[in-house]
Amino acid sequence: MNDVSQNNDAPRLDAITGKPMPKPIPASTLVIFRDQRGVAAPELLMVERSAKMAFAAGAAVFPGGRVDQPDFDYARALGHGDIEEYGARIAAIRESIEETGIAVGVDGDLNAKRVLEAREALHDGTVISDICNQFDWQLELDKLVPFTRWCPPFAEKRVFDTRFYLISHDDHDAEATVDETENYNLFWGSAATVLGRAEAGEVKIIFPTKRNLERLAQFGSFDDAAAHARQHPVVMVSPTIEKRDDGAHLCIPEGIGYPITSEPMDAVQRGFKK
């Protein structure tokens, strides 16, 4: 597992106002790869958020959401020592089932009817541990490859501390379907394709998603991306504002795997509606 470099006790201040930041909400995201035979770049599963959502309204993002207490409880029950890490992995799998109807990182009967039943049960409030017990599923948490971790520098309505994971989805017959609650559309596309659609104004992507897509666009397969992720220990990415001759830029650190590390502030798509 990659090491996460973070001082949880260090006070965090808003990058603009300098005021203390609220305690971030733990969240996790799963970047689901689908390698395409004879195609140079793998496809990634993206969901487009409802315009009514407080965070990333109308934006195309990777499946994910907040880590709930039952996720931490299940990680503890499974005997994992790092409850925060493995609770986040459980949440990433759970959220992907809820949002896309795709079950990855799960060993067991994954026929379409069974996965749909699990999704409906999750939407009705059944916890993931009960679903796994009922369906005789085992979560393959070590298949999730830690990729990055982001926490914004602004005191928005909510501040999320989000862990990102990579995973390969080999069942091309499994059909992803939108949940029609938090999201209104989903699609598969290579990282370069999604970036191109954003440049053309066809989809909206926020700053972290854009930087992560640029990083993922460097690779021709899931294995290449996973090897790269393992070579770059996960650090907390919390962008900073840098004043330059052409204006203020939102920046992330160099040397952590990202080919592009800054963007003019006036072009940045942030997560919350103003």
Distance CA 66, CA 80 (A): 19
- Token look-up 């979560």 returns 139
Whole-model pTM?
Answer: 0.89
Distance CA 66, CA 126 (A): 16
Bridge partners, 150 (sequence order) = 162, 237
- Token look-up 């039943």 returns 117
Per-domain residue ranges of the chain: 25-238
Amino acid 56: pLDDT: 56
Check: CB of residue 155 under 8 Å from CB of residue 22.
yes
Q: CA angle, corner 5, sides to 206 and 239, nearest 5? A: 30
Helix (H) or strand (E) holding 57: none
Distance CA 146, CA 167 (A): 9
- Domain 25-238 coded CATH 3.90.79.10: yes
Helix (H) or strand (E) holding 223: helix 222-231
Reading the chain (274 residues) residue by residue, the pLDDT tens digits are 444 434 445 556 555 556 666 688 999 999 999 987 777 799 999 999 765 555 555 789 999 999 999 999 999 999 999 999 999 999 999 999 999 999 999 999 999 999 999 999 999 999 999 999 999 999 999 999 999 999 987 656 678 999 999 999 988 778 899 887 777 899 999 999 999 999 999 999 999 999 999 999 999 999 999 999 999 999 999 998 899 988 889 999 999 999 999 999 888 765 544 4
* DSSP state string for 112-141: HHHHHHHHHHHHTT--HHHHHHHHT-EE-G
CA distances from 244 to 241, 248, 249, 256, 260 (A): 10, 6, 7, 22, 16
* Nearest of 156, 225, 132 to residue 14 by alpha carbon: 156
Amino acid 79: pLDDT: 97
3-state DSSP percent of the chain in helix, strand and coil, to 5 = 30, 25, 45
Chain length of the chain: 274
Q: CA angle, corner 30, sides to 26 and 36, nearest 5? A: 170
Q: Which two tokens stand for residue 1?
A: 């597992």
Crossing angle (nearest 10°) for helices 83-100 and 112-123: 110
167 phi/psi in degrees, rounded to 5: -155, 150
Crossing angle (nearest 10°) for helices 83-100 and 69-77: 120
Helix (H) or strand (E) holding 40: none
